[in-house]
Amino acid sequence: MKNAPDLFTLYEHTELMNKLREWDIAYHQNDAPIVDDATYDAAKKRALEIEELYPELAKNGASTSVGAAVSEKFKSYAHVVPMLSISDVFNEGEVADWFNKLTNKDIFIELKVDGVSYAARYENGILVRGLTRGSGTHGEDITENLKTIPDIPHKLSGDYPDVIEIRGEVYMKRTDFIALNSESDKQFANPRNAAAGSLRQLNPKITATRKLSAFAYTYGDISIRDFDTQSEYFEKLESWGFKTTRHWARHANDMQKIQNAYHEIMMMRPDIPFDIDGLVLKVNDIATQERMGSRANSPRWEVAYKFPAARAITTLRDITIQVGRTGVLTPVAELEPINIGGVVVSRATLHNADEIKRLNARIGDKVIVQRAGDVIPQIVGVAESVDGATDFQFPTICPVCGGNVVQESGAVARRCVNTMGCPAQRIGELEHFVSRKGFDIDGMGEKQIENFVSRGWIKEPADIFTLIARHGDEIKQLDGFGEKSVSNLNDAIEHARNIELHRLLYAIGIPDVGQVTAKILAREFGSMAAIRNAPVWKLKNIDGIGDIMADEIVSFMSDNHNATALDRLSEQINIINPEKIEKPTEGPLVGKKVVLTGTLSKYTREEAKEILEKLGATVTGSVSAKTDIVLAGTDAGSKLNKAEQLGVTIWAEADFEKAILN
């Protein structure tokens, strides 16, 4: 008999299931995922591992759950045959564990299309009902919506059973997704969200306006079956008028052929016009499928062999140059759009000219793109050098203003020297100024700033606060604007006039001054005037501000252009200075350097940081040998790993609370 789970394991499983249920509702009911595929898959995999050790937890666990409860907005009906999910496998070893247990090793390999599942019931060849997967036992009625999709016939062709429920996937081609986002105010994160949101409309007329496509791949209820294999069923589906993924299907009878198909499809992925997130491996013989049966939430005769969520292979279409607010030229990879971890990626950073040379990346090559969480996608390698691919020549003049591009001795970056006259640098500074971490002016993004700058309406930050008074009537006539949007923009600008000192310091774009340094400056000096007049020696004596940064701050504040711009800005805003914090002279945290990572259950990151600083600690962003403590919440990542390697003291939330309460 297996031991009962200890309290820690029980708590971990409960927390995992709470997260998974929340994420399932967001994904299946609201069509608005709140975590990427990698995060979801990792949590589900861990929950399944715990349930494998302690089967009593599986009753209401990940082993038995399917989808999410149906929404009250729709009528719902029971599935005659439960509509189960598919078990995921993530590597060759897990595939081998499944494959080696099979007695019939004739495997039919299909694409795992990243869309939304449907079930279409036909009686005497006529479509009578369409349902979503829903909870697996009950689905939402989407009959009229399915009828608007050209790939789903209203009447079957040829010879067909009296009753059959066709099951498949509704999806949106990437080109249709990009067109929809370019034409719509509502922006979908990826084609799967767009397909789900379009299919689950209360008004079928809206569904009809979206370019949805569909494949069929399996069946539920059936009155008589006159096919013996999955591959024969695909032929039947096509004879009835459905589209299938048969063109990409493969057969395999050993692990090597499965792996060959996996790598072949991975390389083909950017050329397939719709998103896939893996392969579906099925026992081809249907009699064997029926003998093997199902677990509580998934069949035993099939698995989904998932592609890595954080990486994908796609084509490098071009390399363009972005000029940043400091004049640095950054090469950007223009990619064939690809879905990575639930987000469609069409651009990625190449960092600098040296990185392009190191990768040996040429325009036209197949490249490996990596995305992790909110990190900007980047090219990490070349998967295949393609004949006819061309080398990229880094420009020697600025592509925006024509100014000279220089590379200072010992520096990697190449920079436009036309600091005052380069529009890209001005636009970049203004975008940084209005960003969420700066003045947070909603409705003033990249396109709007470019428009206003090109018309000469905004030349420096202070101009933003007089923009509506000077040009409000003209803005109403621009594409994308109107009475309401101009009013909203005006409200956002007025709200931004009151700003905390540390956010102002971040927003004005002092070189090397990020959020952490801005807060240090605000708390040390207490006012903008004090910072503007601070001598360099005083700045260098502040913990967290090095010699180079101190020089940058003094240089920025003493520049005549910057000083004049700050004077004009000060006339338009109200600066909220921080409360004076009396730092303690003794205590367990005085003088300690602390790094936060992961998610705390009782405190936000900012709340924890403020508490630590009030107790005399300095909160920094990266782990080093000088770090004293790493406070690690759930889902802690690389910072925790580095702390363990360096032997840094690691606190859980309970340790943190013990320290602040004593």
Structure tokens at 54: 């302690």
Domain 76-306 belongs to what architecture?
2-Layer Sandwich (3.30)
603 three-class SS: coil
Q: Are 416 and 422 in contact (CB under 8 A)?
A: yes
Instruction: Give the whole-angstrom CA distance, residue 548 versus residue 551.
Output: 5
Structure tokens at 274: 């719709």
Distances (CA, A) of 150 to 125, 191, 208: 16, 18, 10
pLDDT digits (tens, 9 = 90+) for 23-59: 777 776 666 666 666 677 778 788 888 887 887 777 7
Residue ranges of E strands in 470-538:
498-500
Residue ranges of E strands in 525-628:
574-576, 593-597, 618-620
User: Please, what is the Cα angle at 216 between 214 and 217, to 5 degrees?
Assistant: 140
Highest mean pLDDT range out of 2-6, 161-165, 273-277?
161-165
What average pLDDT does range 372-397 have in this prediction?
85
pLDDT digits (tens, 9 = 90+) for 152-184: 999 999 999 999 999 999 999 999 998 888 887
Q: Which CATH class name applies to 593-661?
A: alpha beta
Single-letter amino acid code for the residue at 322: Q
What average pLDDT does range 608-626 have in this prediction?
83
**The 213-222 sheet, strands edge to edge:** 126-132, 116-123, 163-171, 213-222
Q: Where in the chain is the domain with CATH 1.10.287.610?
A: 7-58
**The 593-597 sheet, strands edge to edge:** 618-620, 593-597, 629-632, 649-651
What average pLDDT does range 200-212 have in this prediction?
90
Q: Are 200 and 29 in contact (CB under 8 A)?
A: no
User: Could you give the residue numbers annotated as active site?
Assistant: 112
Structure tokens at 417: 């020297």
Q: Where in the chain is the domain with CATH 3.40.50.10190?
A: 593-661
Q: Are 134 and 70 in contact (CB under 8 A)?
A: yes
Instruction: Give the whole-angstrom CA distance, residue 117 versus residue 170.
Output: 6
Highest mean pLDDT range out of 53-67, 330-344, 382-396?
382-396
Fold of the domain built from segment(s) 423-576: DNA polymerase; domain 1 (1.10.150)
Element (H, E) at 406: strand 405-406
**pLDDT(2) > 60:** no
Top pLDDT among 495 and 429 is at: 495
pLDDT at 1: 44
Q: Are 251 and 106 in contact (CB under 8 A)?
A: yes
End-to-end CA distance of the chain: 44
Q: What mean pLDDT, rounded, does the chain reach?
A: 87
Work out the percent of the chain whose per-residue pLDDT is above 70: 93
The 8-class DSSP code of residue 546 comes to -
Q: Which residue, among 307, 299, 309, 308, has the nearest Cα to 98 in the 3D structure?
A: 299
- Beta-carbon contacts of residue 558 (< 8 Å; ≥ 6 apart): none
Instruction: Give the whole-angstrom CA distance, residue 648 versus residue 367.
Output: 37
Q: Where in the chain is the domain with CATH 2.40.50.140?
A: 311-416
Fold of the domain built from segment(s) 7-58: Helix Hairpins (1.10.287)
Q: Half-sphere exposure of residue 497, counting CA atoms within 13 Å on the CB side?
A: 13
Residue whose pair of structure tokens reads 């309406």 in the numeric block = 457
Chain centroid to Cα 76, Å, comes to 32
**pLDDT(9) > 70:** yes
pLDDT digits (tens, 9 = 90+) for 221-272: 999 999 999 999 999 999 999 999 999 999 999 999 999 999 999 888 888 9
Q: Where in the chain is the domain with CATH 3.30.470.30?
A: 76-306
pLDDT digits (tens, 9 = 90+) for 436-491: 889 999 989 888 998 998 898 998 899 999 999 999 999 998 888 888 989 999 99
pLDDT at 71: 63
- The length of the chain in residues reads 662
Tell me the chain's radius of gyration from C-alpha atoms. Answer: 29
Other beta carbons less than 10 A from residue 482's beta carbon: 13
Structure tokens at 98: 């499944």
Bridge partners (DSSP) listed for residue 127: 122
Q: Which residues of 504-518 are buried (b: 16+ CB within 10 A; e: fewer)?
A: bbbbbbbeebeebbb
Which CATH superfamily is 311-416 part of? Answer: Nucleic acid-binding proteins (2.40.50.140)
Instruction: Give the whole-angstrom CA distance, residue 216 versus residue 219.
Output: 9
What average pLDDT does range 206-232 have in this prediction?
95
Structure tokens at 637: 């990542």
Q: Which residue, among 368, 365, 369, has the nearest Cα to 387 in the 3D structure?
A: 365
**pLDDT(420) > 60:** no
Instruction: Give the whole-angstrom CA distance, residue 400 versus residue 321.
Output: 9
